[in-house]
Amino acid sequence: MPQHTRTLRTLIASGDTIACPIIYNPLTGVIAKNAGFDMVGVGGYALGANLMTAEPLLTLTECVEHARRIVMATELPVVVDAGAGFGSPVHVQRTVREFESAGVAGINLEDQVYPKRVHYHRGIEHVVPLEEMVERIQAAVEARRDEDFVLVARTDAMATDGYDEAIRRALAYVEAGADLIYAWPNNDDEARRAPRDIPAPTVYGVSEGNRLGRPRPSTADLADMGYAIVRNPHLATLTQYRSVQQALHDWRRTGLTSDEPEEMTRIRKEIEDVMDLDRHYELESRTVEKP
């Protein structure tokens, strides 16, 4: 298996801003790869929506199994949202080892309470004391077997306690061993200041559809600000929902599945190529389908 942790470290060390689409299954991961992205992320919101459950209700087993399949399909560095680490520092250590065994390149750990609350989807965060999050990060650093496995510490304190507290936490998380810091600026000014005030590579989430007024700068603008990674947590999920909803509503209303049969044939063949069916056909032709 490719050493995805080393690949991700190299990407980060290059100094270029990395665009990281957030996906939720192997197919969307391969679509991202074929679009030219160098890494993907598995987001809690995206995976939860795909499984028709709230992000805080996801289990470690579900997240690890989906991540494993995405790594196998994409052969890209994959960073997975590990929420609050699925428990105490002891649980965090198992979390790290399970994701390492799945072949992912890194995880996000956040400073919210565990069990995480569904009210998070309303923008109501509940952050733990700084010292508790530091213990999570230290446990994660201690647990990783591959020193290149990337630990992203996420703080939601800008929303709950203001910019200065979030920066104070970011400094402590870097000191505890976090490799990158993922914060959620409330406005353009905070978005510009954060990369300068945090002594580590920073991550920005362009939150499509957010109801909190968080800024949505372009990747180019975020690169100018100094962000190392730009995530888009909701784009794939929202556009999938809209497209499938429209197609099925149209079919229910008209009884016609598509007015573009040639385009549907092309898309079906493209999906089958993405699935690499020709490889399976070739093997069957040499064995069970042999004349």
| 114 vs 135: CA distance, rounded Å | 14
* Residue in 44, 71, 34, 8 with CA at minimum distance from that of residue 228: 8
Q: What domains lie within the chain, and their CATH numbers?
A: 4-241 (3.20.20.60), 258-291 (no CATH)
Q: Residue 20, SS3?
A: strand
Query: pTM, whole model, 2 decimals?
Result: 0.94
pLDDT greater than 90 at residue 52: yes
| 3 vs 14: CA distance, rounded Å | 17
Q: Let me know: does 135 contact 173? Beta carbons within 8 Å.
A: no
Structure tokens at 152: 């992203």
pLDDT greater than 80 at residue 258: no
At residue 207 the predicted structure's pLDDT band, cuts being 50, 70 and 90, is confident
pLDDT greater than 60 at residue 2: no
Q: How far is CA 198 from the centre of its chain?
A: 21
pLDDT greater than 80 at residue 109: yes
Burial of 182-210, coded b for 16+ CB within 10 Å and e otherwise, reads: bbbbbeeebbbebbeebebbbbbbbbeee
CB under 8 A, 24+ apart: contacts of 48-51: 49/24, 49/237, 49/241, 50/24, 50/25, 50/237
Structure tokens at 257: 């599945």
> DSSP assignment, residue 127?
B
pLDDT greater than 90 at residue 289: yes
